[in-house]
Structure 1
Amino acid sequence: MPCNPLLDTIAAMPRPTEAGRVFHGRGGLYAGCEQWVLDAYPPVLVLTSFAPVSDEALATIGAALAQRWAQIALPGDGPLCWVFQQRGGAQRLEGRSDTRLMAGVVPQPHVVTEGGARYLVNVLKGQNQGLFLDMAAGRQRVAELVAQQAAAPALAVSPGVSLGHGARVLNLFAYTCAFSVVALRAGAARVVNVDMSRGALATGQQNHRLNGVGNGPNGVAAFWAHDIFSSWGKIGRAGPYDLVVADPPSYQKGSFVATKDYGRLLRRLPDLLAPGGHALLCLNAPELPPEFLLEQAARHAPGLRWVERVPNPPAFADVDEARSLKVMVWAAG
């Protein structure tokens, strides 16, 4: 049966208006509920289990969601729409997920908001819906760092035309470019987004259009479908950068393996960063503690100064913060 804390959370759940986590059993704060996660991608709720689930358990949760939705939905919201995804059992071993629409109709296109920004998502696609909810605090920190960059040199776009004094940002492993969107909304002059996936970058371009940024008057965005480790020359020539953001996969064969490749990335940072610039580096690997990134930075980029670990959103609280998402900031010089 589903855990009582999940049912209690559903019973008290406010009407969701922004994308975010509703219940985080994975954090270990609720004994016996570690398999459960509930996310809101308004107007859709997404329930995820990291272990096999009985039809009876799903029916109980579905009834709880329906009851709560009837209480909080506004007249224009329509009927309850929820999706179930199972990542446990054979799916976990094979790196796959089973995703099912349980009730309602998912809007197409499906656009959600976070902190005033708009993003395309696809909750029926699988494990990567288009926006990593646990990175909300990292996106906010990027916006703050960009806003602080008031004294950056003007960026010339063409002869006689510049974008003022906004930050120059490099967004590595850009995925659907959410970091770029928030940076440009905060006043960045230019963002270079680099990712191997053309499909992810295409969604990123749509995200920029949704927010009216990256087209010149509100900063310039570039989208490079490149293997980062084969493109340092081109990446370096577009710099230096006031902010470098890197949110790589922790283990993706053929792309990035943290224990092997983070050092290679860190060695490049001193040459990429402008004086006074910052690097925001992310690591989502429960088996690697924050000390891993600190030791890698000290070894491969000793000239960088560690600034902080960005606290994760309260909705992602964990009994062991060493296992949770690591978002850490360094400064050049």
Structure 2
Amino acid sequence: MQALLDAIARMQLPTDAQRIFHGRGGMHPGCEQWTLDAYPPVFVLTSFLPAGDETEAQLLAIGTALARRWETLAPGQPLNWVFQCRNEALRTQGRTETRLMAGSVPEPHVVTEQGSQFKLHVLRGQNHGLFLDMAEGRRWVRAFAAARSADRYGLKVLNLFAYTCAFSVVALQAGARQVVNVDMGHGAIAIGQQNHQLNGIRTGASFLAHDIFSSWGKITRSGPYGLVIVDPPSYQKGSFVATKDYARLMRRLPDLLAPGGHALLCLNAPELGVDFLHDQMRELAPELVFVERVANPVAFADVDEGRALKVLVYQLPELAGSSALPAQPPI
């Protein structure tokens, strides 16, 4: 646990939401169970092992380290931190054990990332409203949209498995003309709408609380798209299982993309390496050309990049004789 305590002692005052310590990456032997995230003004400590007799002593040591560092970084300000246990037995039941350890959590709880604002809920559920490991993916989308903001008809984006629509927020802020957000979670989509309002985005986004696999007709009719974002859960019983369902998404990409358009494919399944995506793309959507793998945030360094989050960019070739994305007529 010493590596975690050392990270706390070195941390700077967090302003944006960010990971402070990533034991899950295996870079700190003996600390694999721990992660520490900053969702200013709240810290969230997570353990991925069952709570044992030693847990309370560990929490006391961690709490003491946080309090000591916080007094240096923000003298006189209250320390707010939450502990969540996500051991395998609880996770398979879709449950977590969450405790407010000190201070309070603001309501609403709004954090920032690269100038964007997002609403969170750290005291319930496993997913807090913003996946910190996807920060570089959002940065890539922001840059991609900005580079195409002057296109004749603007960039149209399809955001599949949109969750709370963070990709949509950054794309529209960067100049995308339209984003179609699709997710079967009504609650997540509702928070996504609030995220757009938080950022002053009043137009350009549509929200479909639909099962993607039952909505291809509507999704296709709204295309073609200059960018398709695919960020599904790796395993969600009754909804999506990557090993069998990712192929169903890949087959659709050539029909969804405009010539010259890009697809951002995301996969957070440690047991599936990058070849899982490459091999299926070659078989199911050979028209698309691999462009790059987006690097993960430095804070999420992993001893095995094959187990880490995979964010891959593919492109549908432009039409013969064309040097740019073809114009997308307004709908």
Match of 1:250 in 2: 234
Match of 2:283 in 1: 299
Give secondary structure in 2 for the equivalent of 1:196: coil
Give secondary structure in 2 for the equivalent of 1:328: strand
In structure 2, distance between residues paired with 1:82 and 1:196: 31
In structure 2, distance between residues paired with 1:93 and 1:173: 21
Find 2:179's aligned residue among 181, 191, 215. 191
Match of 2:58 in 1: 57
Match of 1:160 in 2: none
Give secondary structure in 2 for the equivalent of 1:303: coil
Match of 1:231 in 2: 215
Match of 1:331 in 2: 315
Give secondary structure in 2 for the equivalent of 1:187: coil
Give secondary structure in 1 for the equivalent of 2:139: helix
Match of 2:161 in 1: 173
Per-residue deviation at 1:131? 0.2
Match of 1:21 in 2: 19
Q: How does 1:67-82 map to 2 (within 5 A)?
A: 67-73=68-74, 78-82=77-81
Per-residue deviation at 1:285? 0.2
Higher mean alpha-carbon deviation, 128-137 vs 141-150, is at: 141-150
Per-residue deviation at 1:96? 1.9
Give secondary structure in 2 for the equivalent of 1:264: helix
1:206 pairs with 2:206: no
CA contact (8 A) 2:149 2:175 kept: no
In structure 1, distance between residues paired with 2:297 and 2:15: 17
Match of 1:38 in 2: 36
Give, as a single letter, the amino acid of the residue that structure 1 aligns with 2:263: A
Structure 1 moving runs of 4+ over 6 Å: none
In structure 2, distance between residues paired with 1:51 and 1:230: 37
1:134 pairs with 2:122: no
In structure 2, distance between residues paired with 1:92 and 1:23: 21
1:281 pairs with 2:257: no
Over aligned residues, Cα RMSD in angstroms? Answer: 1.1
In structure 1, distance between residues paired with 2:208 and 2:94: 27
Higher mean alpha-carbon deviation, 251-260 vs 142-151, is at: 142-151
Per-residue deviation at 1:40? 0.2
In structure 2, distance between residues paired with 1:185 and 1:271: 27
Percent identity (aligned): 66
Per-residue deviation at 1:170? 0.3
Per-residue deviation at 1:93? 4.3
Per-residue deviation at 1:318? 0.1
Give secondary structure in 2 for the equivalent of 1:6: helix
Give, as a single letter, the amino acid of the residue that structure 1 aligns with 2:64: A
User: Structure 1 residues 301 and 249 mapped into 2: Cα distance closer, same or farther (>3 Å)?
Assistant: same
User: Structure 1 residues 237 and 152 mapped into 2: Cα distance closer, same or farther (>3 Å)?
Assistant: farther
Match of 2:325 in 1: none
Match of 1:11 in 2: 9
Query: TM-score w.r.t. structure 1 length?
Result: 0.92
Match of 1:317 in 2: 301
In structure 2, distance between residues paired with 1:331 and 1:79: 49
- Paired residues, number: 314
1:290 pairs with 2:274: yes
Ranges in structure 2 where 5+ consecutive residues have no aligned partner? 318-331
The C-alpha deviation readout for 1:158-202, integer Å capped at 9, x for no partner, is xxxxxxxx2100000000000000000110000000000111000
Give secondary structure in 2 for the equivalent of 1:18: coil
User: Structure 1 residues 89 and 225 mapped into 2: Cα distance closer, same or farther (>3 Å)?
Assistant: closer
The C-alpha deviation readout for 1:103-161, integer Å capped at 9, x for no partner, is 0010000000000000000110121000000000000111111122246342xxxxxxx
CA contact (8 A) 2:149 2:176 kept: no
Ranges in structure 1 where 5+ consecutive residues have no aligned partner? 155-165
Match of 1:123 in 2: 122
The C-alpha deviation readout for 1:238-290, integer Å capped at 9, x for no partner, is 01100000100111122111111111101111011011110001000000000
